[in-house]
Structure 1
């Protein structure tokens, strides 16, 4: 990693890259990210021009280390706090004696530090052990005799016996996921002290097999009273091993796991969904973009569907009333809501809101303070809809933001619906 040249740019920013620094393999990876709307790569007279979309993190290429820092609202500390809130994991904090601080070395170092803290807690409390099956060939029988293997490999000889033993061991998937993630994180970070800490921790965790096996174990993971304490560490391990954050940006492109990119609009959508669920008044239910009913368009060359990020259903009577909400990762604290977003919210109002309560909301990040302004859309002498533009101060604690929403937004929405 020390041989790579580091280039830093801001989210939505661009950088000029000399042609000699990008190999054909690098260009293939960048093109794959470009097809997914994460990074734009264009050829120029002197090399290549890279532009980051709403993506932050670190991308390790063959000769280049690209660090993309957040630009909209989030500082390093607020980003990690809101990411924890979106993923429903504990926030690493100094008051919990986790020795956590915001590093100037990029988002990847923050995630690796969070993984190190959680793994340190697991070691402090003792790693979980479980019975692991081991196949052995020995002169003495211990465990369960493997008659089939004995007959097909020893041909009746009894001087050595094939048998399976079951011993309590820390070499179980919960610990191996952490072990693989610590090894990968060691190659990812740029802070030497953090890298040494990760190396020391990695010696205490088993890491047999391949990284793909650990990723597969995470995808099948279930948690109960015996292993639920591993879940926070596995959240950070998943971000590192899959290399792409909540949307797994690099999983499908074959990129090395020592890169880590985070799609901030996806993080913001998850955070807003939890904010709404935490602040919504009693008697309501919330549906997300994966569970809400669709607005369908048919009759064109191909059918299309639309769904808002969150739909809140008020059910005080036999006729439920719905309130669509869209999370927008845009700088709307100093800018007007775009015409495209206004049209989108009007579509949601038409598809979900009742005729006597044509209301929706946009929730966007901002700094310094929370805000709310009301957009009223009229045409042909009638009210087309009301849009609440809600600015959430990301420098504040998410729990405090949910409490503010509970008093500021829903009281006004109740009056509308």
Structure 2
């Protein structure tokens, strides 16, 4: 890998770049990322200015190696714990401080994949029956009569046979081989690169990363391959460059990198936190789309919809009838600023559409480093109360599991 100039900044921070640090191909890549809301690249009189948005990770360009560290909500030493929690995978031993090297987050994810792959090798890779067409000196499996007659013209020194043997060259293992190769292109740690080199040969790989991703999207987990779930989760993260299904909305970039959209991560965290907190009190998550959605019809174009990040069905206080509670994740500094008018309008719409008319309420969950916080907004009018909005600040300095009980008490 050629030497690249390291450029480090935090989310929402900016850094100047000299004109020669970006090639035309780099500019095209960065503009593509800008269109997806990952960062902002502007031309200045003395060069370029690169500003990170709510995105963290690593981006390997032709002449620079850009590392965007988490600054706002989730500290670096906790990022892997919260990411593993959002993905529903075991917390890897790589959940350590961010600033462990020039690659930061990329090295941590690569090490998490390595840890899972080493465990699979110790347990033995899964094997399954694979159909092959071979040319063998002796008869194995079933003779391919048509191939023998048309290709060997009756000669019997080599036999065209069809075999059906148990092999490790299956998609469960191929996607891991492709992900290990992708990890090698990102890591900056010589020790980690050596360990990855030592294990990559034990896994078959897919023809292309795109083929590996398609296989991951088709994978269903059973008792036979359930132990592959955690390894596949980290593999998907590496192969998509950060675009995890059900976690992020983008689908990777043309540049080598591993980018993570923090708002999407926070939404995944809140969905799991609120679902587990609601379950402590007999609640459950219910769909908020389709017939249960809030729709707008009659405007230009297709009908639009209002959809909270999570809709909880909770047991009623005095009756057997269950009540609905909309919960929305906001990756904003609501520990320092008041809730915006747009968010208040949005939550009032949710409460009017889903909750009881005599007790309209909704919940905002935002990150708050350093301690939990709970405040209640009362929205009124000359005709009476319009709704109640609970604003919950979750302590992101603590492990995510600690927030479940606290949110449960606030929802109660």
**C-alpha distance 147-289 of structure 1, shift in aligned 2 (>3 A):** farther
CA distance in 1: counterparts of 2:290 and 2:219, whole angstroms: 22
Residue 208 of structure 2 is aligned with which of 202, 206, 210? 210
Unaligned runs of 5+ in 2: none
Aligned length: 403
Residue 365 of structure 1 is aligned with which of 350, 364, 367? 367
| Aligned partners of 2:58 and 2:65 also within 8 Å | yes
> For residues 73-152 of structure 1, what are the structure 2 equivalents within 5 Å?
73-93=73-93, 101-104=96-99, 105=101, 106-152=104-150
TM value normalised by structure 2: 0.91
**C-alpha distance 252-89 of structure 1, shift in aligned 2 (>3 A):** closer
Residue 220 of structure 2 is aligned with which of 216, 222, 227? 222
Provide the alpha-carbon RMSD of the alignment.
2.2
| Aligned partners of 1:100 and 1:113 also within 8 Å | no
Runs of 4+ in 1 over 4 A off after TM superposition: 247-250, 288-292, 315-320
Match in the other structure for 1:172: 170
CA distance in 2: counterparts of 1:17 and 1:135, whole angstroms: 56
Residue 192 of structure 2 is aligned with which of 186, 194, 197? 194
Match in the other structure for 1:304: 304
CA distance in 2: counterparts of 1:152 and 1:28, whole angstroms: 53
Deviations 1:212-261 (A, max 9, x none): 222221111111112111111110011001112435566364x14x4110
SS in structure 2 at match of 1:403: helix
SS in structure 2 at match of 1:398: coil
Residue 327 of structure 2 is aligned with which of 325, 328, 337? 325
CA distance in 2: counterparts of 1:205 and 1:359, whole angstroms: 52
CA distance in 1: counterparts of 2:343 and 2:138, whole angstroms: 74
Deviates more, 1:112-121 or 1:289-298: 289-298
Cα offset for 1:188?
0.3
CA distance in 1: counterparts of 2:331 and 2:248, whole angstroms: 18
Match in the other structure for 1:415: none
CA distance in 2: counterparts of 1:68 and 1:266, whole angstroms: 16
| Aligned partners of 1:273 and 1:288 also within 8 Å | no
| Aligned partners of 2:78 and 2:96 also within 8 Å | no
Match in the other structure for 2:31: 31
**C-alpha distance 187-250 of structure 1, shift in aligned 2 (>3 A):** farther
SS in structure 2 at match of 1:128: coil
TM value normalised by structure 1: 0.90
Matched, 1:66 2:66: yes
Matched, 1:294 2:293: yes
SS in structure 1 at match of 2:292: coil
| Aligned partners of 1:141 and 1:163 also within 8 Å | yes
| Aligned partners of 1:133 and 1:164 also within 8 Å | yes
| Aligned partners of 1:6 and 1:65 also within 8 Å | yes
**C-alpha distance 239-91 of structure 1, shift in aligned 2 (>3 A):** same
Cα offset for 1:124?
2.0
Deviates more, 1:228-237 or 1:32-41: 32-41
Match in the other structure for 2:270: 272
CA distance in 2: counterparts of 1:58 and 1:353, whole angstroms: 43
CA distance in 2: counterparts of 1:290 and 1:370, whole angstroms: 31
Deviations 1:96-132 (A, max 9, x none): xxx7633413211111111111112112222222223
SS in structure 1 at match of 2:295: strand
Cα offset for 1:289?
6.1
CA distance in 1: counterparts of 2:290 and 2:190, whole angstroms: 44
CA distance in 2: counterparts of 1:73 and 1:110, whole angstroms: 19
Deviates more, 1:294-303 or 1:354-363: 294-303
Deviates more, 1:193-202 or 1:258-267: 193-202
CA distance in 2: counterparts of 1:169 and 1:220, whole angstroms: 20
CA distance in 2: counterparts of 1:15 and 1:287, whole angstroms: 44
SS in structure 2 at match of 1:142: coil
